[in-house]
């Protein structure tokens, strides 16, 4: 059919080229001539319809159902010199756009000598439908120079582009044009609200919203969502109450934003009310709403309610399934995330990149290398190796101790973002490769990647482990200069921990006192810092300050307190805090707490009491307790009790060289060199060797790692 039409119209065009007058009479609204034929007796709409029906070129274009056909017809027009017809050119623009060839559409448009408003509107519409927002802004700038009038449709499209690009400057220009033209409809006003909200100008959004006379559900929802996006969740809840007072019915997006606001506020009661309202009104649960509900319960710490909502879904799709897995993974329940993934009832759902990344995070938390490798393999099979998955892979292998695999994957990434750098830096730092972490940090800065709070936490940790005081001090200056120290409690905690481990407790205390926000880890780091320096008075005073501020100490803080008391011989206070931990704070002592008590008694020479303490424990003692006892026996030359401790330790078969060294040292103190040789031979048989002790200090050298280079991130 199309071939026949092409032949027919080809003949018509050929005839018209030889006989110009009859052909010109066929084109009532043709732009080939300066004076188009007019129909004075017809109204404009009828004249337009007549012109379209009587234009053979336009009619021919209407039969083009695919891009190949359109190209043939377009080529036919070019060969026969048919150009300059605005109606046909605009139709060409529209057809190229509808077939997904917006570039061709733009080329045709650019060749229209004098495009009218409708031509501009068609072109900008196809830019919009193909999400080419930057092109929309540029095109609108050209349009403003060529066309006087605008309508609400064009304003709505351009405002949407400004919203997506968060281009406040262009958005304000459009707002000025809207005011100049006047009488904007609710779609344009709602577009202005959305644009200002997404550009973080919530006050301007609220002002425009106040000027809307007839607010529909879209207007209310745009303002409510704007509040949520700008962390004004309380205002969003207040606005929702006003919306209900105005008798405007909510839709899925309204309630989704409301659920998100409840999650951000941690308002579980409000979130449950909205969830109940959704069920009561019988509103259909789309993917957006389901994800918002699950995310709200997760952020409110109610994983049980999240799972109940998930199980109550009539059908589970990829979005809801992934949302639940993400919830488990981010809330510290990695085992549940993996269980849900392998649930046989979900075998028909294939994971996406977000699912794979969350599962890898779960494997990293569990240090489950075998499961992580299986998920990695699945991601490769499904072709789901995007930047998010790659970052998760680096993190998983690093946390599982396979740093070579993490480094290899990191090096394969051509365009490394900050998350990728943070993942590998954290991996090096956590695996005891502090110098490698510092060298990699230098490479990161050489690539002009600016560190964030996560980066600095890893680097401060690396500096603390190797005593890189110069690097850490320089990074301290960098954090202050860029406002990272005041904006993140984690950076402050890592910094004071760095100073404490480097022996500068005064600087650590200055950092501690200047921190606006402190969490339990911060207090623990400072208390432990005093303990490292043997300043038990400072540890106990700070602990009392913490209790006065009605902060609950955790198990780590009690470990630091007991250790400080043990190292300074404050046995009475040590017992006091141990009993307070058990009775007042209802903590069940861990092996670390028991080891601190044994060490405290052994250092004080109360060795029989220490051994009796071990025998009466409600749990089976481990090597650390007998090691602490043996150390005390060496300090006080109690070889009889030392023999008991040695026998207990050898029965447990220690796999760490330090315990054999303690045994050897005790025998050496008693002059029993044959037993010393036996212990050393036993170490060789078991393939154990103790790393030599060392002290770390910074000094100028010719190593490939330049501390001065690492220390200059600015």
Cα distance between residue 13 and residue 81, in whole Å: 10
Quick one: DSSP state of residue 705? S
Per-residue pLDDT band at 690 (split at 50, 70, 90):
low
Residues of the chain above pLDDT 90, percent:
29
Exposure class string for 381-400: b at 16+ Cβ within 10 A, else e = eeebbeebbbbbbbbbbbbb
Angle at 595 between CA 687 and CA 535, to 5 degrees: 110
pLDDT at 50: 43
pLDDT tens digits along 497-527: 898 888 888 888 888 888 888 888 888 888 8
Specify the range with the lowest mean pLDDT, choosing from 11-20, 172-181, 522-531.
Answer: 11-20
Q: Does position 262 have pLDDT exceeding 90, yes or no?
A: yes
Mean local confidence (pLDDT), 368-394? 91
pLDDT at 17: 37
Cα distance between residue 449 and residue 445, in whole Å: 5
Q: Does position 22 have pLDDT exceeding 50, yes or no?
A: no
Per-residue pLDDT band at 88 (split at 50, 70, 90):
confident
pLDDT at 643: 74
- Average pLDDT for the chain: 82
Mean local confidence (pLDDT), 235-254? 91
pLDDT tens digits along 192-237: 999 999 999 999 999 999 999 889 999 999 999 999 999 999 999 9
- 706's CB contacts (< 8 A; 6+ apart) are 442
Residue 341: name the closest of 354, 331, 518 by CA: 354
pLDDT tens digits along 139-164: 999 998 888 778 899 999 999 999 99
Q: How many CB atoms lie within 10 A of CB 706?
A: 14
Q: Is 131 helix (H, G, I), strand (E, B) or coil?
A: coil
Specify the range with the lowest mean pLDDT, choosing from 52-66, 249-263, 471-485.
Answer: 52-66
Specify the range with the lowest mean pLDDT, choosing from 316-320, 383-387, 689-693, 698-702.
Answer: 698-702
Per-residue pLDDT band at 352 (split at 50, 70, 90):
very high
CB distance 531 to 559 below 8 Å: no
Cα distance between residue 154 and residue 138, in whole Å: 13
Per-residue pLDDT band at 543 (split at 50, 70, 90):
confident
pLDDT at 31: 31
3-state SS, 331-366, equals CCCHHHHHHHHCCHHHCCCCCCHHHHHHHHHHHHHH
CB distance 378 to 390 below 8 Å: no
Per-residue pLDDT band at 396 (split at 50, 70, 90):
very high
Cα distance between residue 571 and residue 568, in whole Å: 9
Residue 165: name the closest of 198, 193, 191 by CA: 198
pLDDT at 534: 75
pLDDT at 364: 93
pLDDT at 656: 67
- 207's CB contacts (< 8 A; 6+ apart) are none
- Positive or negative, the Cα torsion across 579, 584, 590, 593? negative
pLDDT at 317: 85
CB distance 526 to 496 below 8 Å: yes
What does the domain layout of the chain look like in residue ranges?
Answer: 227-314
Specify the range with the lowest mean pLDDT, choosing from 108-122, 314-328, 339-353, 525-539.
Answer: 525-539
Per the model's pLDDT, the better-predicted residue between 204 and 689 turns out to be 204
CB distance 139 to 123 below 8 Å: yes
Mean local confidence (pLDDT), 73-82? 81
Residue 396: name the closest of 361, 356, 358, 370 by CA: 361
pLDDT tens digits along 270-302: 999 999 988 888 888 878 888 889 989 988 988
Whole-model pTM: value is 0.69
Q: Does position 354 have pLDDT exceeding 90, yes or no?
A: yes
CB distance 594 to 617 below 8 Å: yes
pLDDT at 501: 86
Cα 461 vs. chain centroid, distance in angstroms?
22
CB distance 188 to 159 below 8 Å: yes
Specify the range with the lowest mean pLDDT, choosing from 88-102, 511-525, 683-697.
Answer: 683-697
- The phi, psi pair for 712, rounded to 5°, reads -120, 75
Specify the range with the lowest mean pLDDT, choosing from 161-170, 343-352, 440-449, 682-691.
Answer: 682-691
Q: What separation in angstroms does the CA of 367 have from each of 262, 360, 372, 393?
A: 33, 10, 8, 12
- 346's CB contacts (< 8 A; 6+ apart) are 316, 321, 340
Per-residue pLDDT band at 70 (split at 50, 70, 90):
confident
Element of type H or E holding 689: none
Q: At what angle do helices 418-430 and 453-466 cross, to 10 degrees?
A: 20
The runs of H, that is alpha helices, within 502-586 are 505-514, 520-532, 536-548, 555-567, 571-583
Angle at 411 between CA 358 and CA 330, to 5 degrees: 15
Mean local confidence (pLDDT), 175-188? 91
Q: What separation in angstroms does the CA of 579 have from each of 29, 39, 536, 538, 553?
A: 98, 103, 18, 20, 14
Contacts for 666-673: CB closer than 8 Å, 24+ residues apart: 666/630, 666/633, 666/634, 666/639, 666/642, 669/634, 669/637, 669/639, 670/639
Q: Which string of DSSP letters, residue by residue, matches 405-442?
A: HHHHHHHH-SS--HHHHHHHHHHHHHTT-HHHHHHHHH
């Amino acid at each position: 059919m199309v071939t026949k039409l092409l032949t027919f119209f080809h003949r018509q065009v050929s005839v018209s080229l030889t006989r110009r007058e009859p052909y010109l009479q066929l084109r009532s609204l043709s732009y080939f001539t300066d004076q188009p034929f007019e129909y004075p007796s017809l109204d404009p709409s009828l004249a337009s319809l007549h012109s379209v029906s009587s234009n053979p070129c336009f009619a021919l274009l209407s039969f083009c159902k695919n891009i190949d056909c359109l190209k043939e017809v377009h080529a036919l027009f070019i060969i026969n010199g048919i150009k300059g017809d605005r109606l046909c050119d605009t139709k060409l623009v529209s057809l190229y756009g509808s077939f997904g060839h917006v570039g061709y559409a733009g080329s045709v448009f650019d060749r229209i000598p004098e495009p009218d408003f409708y031509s501009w509107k068609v072109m900008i519409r196809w830019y919009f439908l193909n999400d080419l927002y930057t092109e929309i802004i540029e095109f609108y700038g050209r349009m403003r120079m060529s066309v006087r009038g605008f309508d609400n449709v064009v304003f709505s499209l351009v405002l949407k582009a400004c919203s997506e690009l968060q281009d406040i400057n262009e958005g304000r220009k459009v707002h000025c044009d809207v005011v100049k033209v006047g009488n904007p409809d609710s779609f344009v006003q709602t577009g202005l609200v959305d644009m200002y909200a997404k550009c973080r100008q919530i006050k301007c959004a609220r002002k425009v919203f106040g000027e809307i006379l007839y607010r529909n559900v879209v207007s209310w929802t745009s303002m409510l969502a704007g509040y949520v996006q700008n962390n004004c969740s309380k205002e969003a809840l207040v606005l929702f109450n006003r919306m209900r007072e105005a008798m405007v019915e909510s839709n899925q997006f309204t309630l989704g934003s409301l659920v998100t606001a409840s999650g951000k506020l941690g308002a579980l009661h409000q979130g449950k009310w909205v969830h109940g309202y959704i069920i009561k009104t019988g509103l259909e649960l789309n993917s957006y709403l389901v994800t918002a509900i699950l995310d709200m319960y997760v952020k409110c710490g109610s994983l049980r309610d999240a799972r109940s909502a998930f199980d109550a879904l009539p059908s589970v799709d990829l979005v809801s399934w992934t949302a639940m897995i993400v919830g488990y993974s981010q809330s510290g329940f990695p085992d549940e995330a993996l269980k849900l993934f392998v649930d046989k009832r979900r075998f028909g759902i294939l994971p996406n990149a977000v699912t794979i990344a969350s599962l890898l995070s779960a494997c990293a938390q569990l240090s489950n290398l075998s499961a992580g490798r299986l998920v990695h393999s699945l991601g490769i099979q499904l072709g789901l190796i995007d930047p998010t998955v790659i970052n998760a892979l680096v993190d998983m292998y690093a946390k599982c101790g396979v740093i070579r695999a993490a480094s290899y994957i990191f090096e394969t990434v051509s365009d490394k973002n900050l998350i990728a750098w943070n993942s590998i830096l954290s991996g090096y730092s956590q695996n005891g490769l502090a110098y490698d972490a510092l060298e990699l940090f230098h490479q990161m800065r050489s690539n002009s990647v600016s560190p964030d709070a996560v980066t600095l936490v890893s680097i401060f940790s690396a500096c603390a482990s190797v005593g890189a005081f110069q690097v850490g001090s320089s990074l301290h200056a960098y954090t202050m200069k860029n406002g990272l120290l005041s904006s993140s409690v984690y950076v402050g905690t890592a910094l004071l921990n760095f100073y404490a481990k480097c022996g500068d407790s005064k600087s650590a205390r200055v950092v501690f006192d200047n921190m606006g926000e402190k969490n339990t880890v911060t207090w623990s780091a400072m208390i432990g810092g005093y303990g490292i320096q043997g300043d038990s008075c400072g540890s106990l005073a700070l602990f009392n300050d913490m209790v006065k501020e009605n902060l609950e100490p955790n198990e780590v803080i009690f470990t630091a307190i007991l250790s400080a008391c043990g190292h300074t011989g404050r046995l009475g206070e040590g017992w006091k805090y141990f009993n307070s931990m058990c009775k007042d704070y209802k903590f069940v002592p861990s092996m670390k707490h028991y080891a601190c008590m044994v060490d405290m008694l052994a250092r004080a020479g109360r060795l029989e009491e220490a051994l009796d303490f071990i025998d009466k424990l409600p749990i089976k003692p481990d090597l650390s307790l007998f090691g602490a006892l043996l150390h005390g026996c060496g300090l006080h030359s109690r070889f009889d009790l030392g023999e008991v401790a040695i026998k207990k330790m050898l029965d447990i078969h220690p796999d760490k060289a330090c315990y054999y060294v303690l045994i050897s040292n005790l025998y050496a103190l008693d002059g029993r060199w044959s037993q010393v040789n036996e212990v050393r031979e036993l170490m060789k048989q078991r393939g154990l060797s103790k790393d030599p002790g060392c002290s770390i200090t910074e000094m100028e050298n010719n190593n490939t790692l330049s501390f001065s280079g690492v220390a200059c991130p600015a």
